[in-house]
Chains A and B, each alone.
Chain A
Amino acid sequence: MLNIKNLHVKLEEEDKQILKGVNLEVGAGEVHAIMGPNGSGKSTLSYVLSGRDGYEVTEGAATLNGEDILDMEPEERAAAGLFLAFQYPVEIPGVGNMTFLRTALNAQRKARGEEEVSAADFLKLIREKAKSLKIDSEMLKRPVNMGFSGGEKKRNEILQMAVLEPKMCILDETDSGLDVDAMKLVSDGVNALRDAGRGFLVITHYQRLLNHIVPDVVHIMAEGRIVKTGGKELALEVEENGYADILAELEGAA
């Protein structure tokens, strides 16, 4: 599904290399987790994959279902099935949450040559999805993320994901700022979307989330590289010992 090969990325404005050869492959139906120290490049990876400005790919490639995504516009990547749940969801005053989501859904459908969803059908769809995430209709009417608490913003990201039904979902610290109940809601939302045709890349600092969303593979990222890959037990190891051992191991090998 998602195939990242030797990806090198620097900042466009500065001479600063952030990703230094990332290799990663997420198959359909799989859930991969990425953990790693602050500043190791996890969000950068998610932004580069979704097409944010300000980065320059100096080497390597990334494909989604065989298609090179790095040359696509962000909206084309979305239509191709890529979704990023932002670490910091953006507040957009004046744009209603519902309007935004319906515009997005229909734009994606149009780009794929599918029929647009009628206002009535959309309302049904979003009500149903919102209900399962305990997002009330008042929140749907408000401008995108405006006045939402940290946890509400994260739930709103998952709502968007549930409505857009992307193929490849990247979740950047969706668990941060969530209370225990919200964590459960969000995890249930993610798990409900798990199926054989969909891949997940879950960026997190905490093993706790991975108890709910059980990963098939766990990667550790450090200094712009995937430095270790293992099963879900790797997350437990990090939780207990931190990154020191893993990084030391790396130093030793170098």
Chain B
Amino acid sequence: MALPQVKQDATDARLAGLRLPDGAGWATSAREAALARVQAMGLPGRRDEYWKWTRPDGLNAAEAATAKVFPNDEQPIFSEIDRVRLVFVDGVFDAKQSDDPKMAGVEIERLEQATRADIHWAKDVYGILEERAQDPVARPLAALNTAYASDGVMIRATRKAKCPVSLIYLHKSDNSDAMLHHCIKVEEGASLTVLENGPAAARFNKVMEVEVADGAAFHHIRAQGRDHERQAVTHTFARLGRESVFKSFTMTANGVMTRNECVVELTGDDATAHVAGAALGDGDFHHDDTVFITHNAVNCESRQVFKKVLRNGATGVFQGKILVQPEAQKTDGYQISQALLLDDDSEFYAKPELEIYADDVQCSHGSTSGAIDDDALFYLRSRGVPESQAQDLLVLAFLAEAIQEIENPAIAEDIRVRLEAWLERRRKG
């Protein structure tokens, strides 16, 4: 089917400036197949239902808009946590700033290294989960990434990793346009935590494909960088085996454009998937969480907890779906999305969706948006807490339910401290 002309033009314009990375073997065919997908789907358009509230123009554009590098005046995050650090500067791996990527029971390689091997586990992950997630909703920017990303890490855990792998994304150039593609495989009974932080680039397109095998556990915590003008589109694709656990949490403070898609497929019985986010921003901040969880197996649990604090005209979007297939009996699905609007100019759009084909399931969803509770504010002030500080306390309280989704208390505390510091800077600034 021919694409609408606008879409065709946007797609052609973008592809004209790109070149498939060099390399041979399995990656080349994966990339070519992904390119064919992009050409067939076309890049997202403003008429697409899935992009109703988020303008894809900046993410599509042939040239990335500049985004000034923000002075890094924040306390370093995750610094007290024992971890293997892998540093990317404007989307390119920097071995010098990184730790030696060695950990017992965990293989860590660059994408480029992996593509050189004839036989590699990543072959069954790279672009595979992304492709599966193209139905029923197209995610062209993810396919674009599969085709053109030339860097990223391939992580395979074969036992319980001793410490998290920490991906650090530095933004150094005002004009950087970066794509990273990570593949993660947590083998049967193994467990792994991946941390991510930093603004990454002026424009950042990231895909992370995660295969969680039977009885395995994967935890993901990220703090997206706050450089005001930076744009990001990220996709997390996960496929879960029997009795496996997948938990992903994202904190976002500012950034002119963020679209975080998370697509999870529960394919083994008794698996658990939690996806959560705490976002906070003002002014031009546009933040979109788009989540799609498919229950394909019996007795699985999924949970989505998304909280956004919006002020000075910021925009929040939440599109969250729970799809329960006929065989997925005894599904326990929960979804909540809430926005705290600190002024009348800010807006929150939410589309919570349940689509259920099994009869013995328990699913609930809720979405609210509201202002600060005046009674609570007065109560705090009447005890001597100044208004702005009281408001911040209530903002943090509002975000707490999402932060609670992080299992590791030290990591949760890091996130909380960062959010608190952000609020405090606003208060003073």
Binds A, one of B191-199, B321-329, B392-400: B392-400
Please pick, from A74, A92, A101, A143, the residue contacting B381 in the complex, using a CB distance under 8 A.
A74
Verify A160–B383 contact, CB threshold 8 A.
yes
The reply to whether the CB of A162 lies closer than 8 angstroms to some CB of chain B is no
Known: A53-B374, A92-B376, A107-B389. A78 touches B397 (CB 8 A): no
The reply to whether the CB of A113 lies closer than 8 angstroms to some CB of chain B is no
Chain B residues near A37: list those with CB within 8 A.
none
Identify the closest chain A residue to B378 (Cβ): A52
The reply to whether the CB of B382 lies closer than 8 angstroms to some CB of chain A is yes
- The DSSP consensus for interface residues of chain B is helix
Chain A residues near B383: list those with CB within 8 A.
78, 83, 100-101, 104, 108, 160, 164
Verify B394–A95 contact, CB threshold 8 A.
yes
Give Cα A91–Cα B379 distance, bound, in whole angstroms: 9
Please pick, from B373, B382, B401, the residue contacting A50 in the complex, using a CB distance under 8 A.
B382
Give Cα A99–Cα B390 distance, bound, in whole angstroms: 12
Identify the closest chain B residue to A143 (Cβ): B397
Give Cα A93–Cα B397 distance, bound, in whole angstroms: 7
Binary A-proximity of B287-329 (CB < 8 A = 1, otherwise 0) = 0000000000000000000000000000000000000000000
Q: Which of A93, A108, A160 has the most chain B CB within a 10 Å cutoff? A: A93
Query: How big is chain A's contact interface, by range?
Result: 20 to 34
The reply to whether the CB of B17 lies closer than 8 angstroms to some CB of chain A is no
In the assembled complex, how far is the CB of residue A170 from the closest CB belonging to chain B, in whole angstroms? 10
In the assembled complex, how far is the CB of residue B48 from the closest CB belonging to chain A, in whole angstroms? 36
Identify the closest chain A residue to B401 (Cβ): A94
In the assembled complex, how far is the CB of residue B395 from the closest CB belonging to chain A, in whole angstroms? 9
The reply to whether the CB of A35 lies closer than 8 angstroms to some CB of chain B is no
The reply to whether the CB of A31 lies closer than 8 angstroms to some CB of chain B is no
Verify A94–B397 contact, CB threshold 8 A.
yes
Verify A164–B384 contact, CB threshold 8 A.
yes
Verify B382–A74 contact, CB threshold 8 A.
yes
The reply to whether the CB of A191 lies closer than 8 angstroms to some CB of chain B is no
Chain A residues near B384: list those with CB within 8 A.
75, 78-79, 104-105, 107-108, 111, 164
The reply to whether the CB of A192 lies closer than 8 angstroms to some CB of chain B is no
Near B by CB (< 8 A), chain A positions 65-110 give 73-75, 77-79, 83-84, 86, 89-95, 99-101, 103-105, 107-108
In the assembled complex, how far is the CB of residue A93 from the closest CB belonging to chain B, in whole angstroms? 6
Known: A53-B374, A100-B393, A103-B393. A92 touches B382 (CB 8 A): no
The reply to whether the CB of A224 lies closer than 8 angstroms to some CB of chain B is no
What are 5 A-B residue pairs whose CB atoms fall within 8 Å in the complex? A51-B382, A75-B387, A78-B383, A92-B373, A95-B394
A interface, CB within 8 angstroms of B: 50-53, 73-75, 77-79, 83-84, 86, 89-95, 99-101, 103-105, 107-108, 111, 143-144, 160, 164
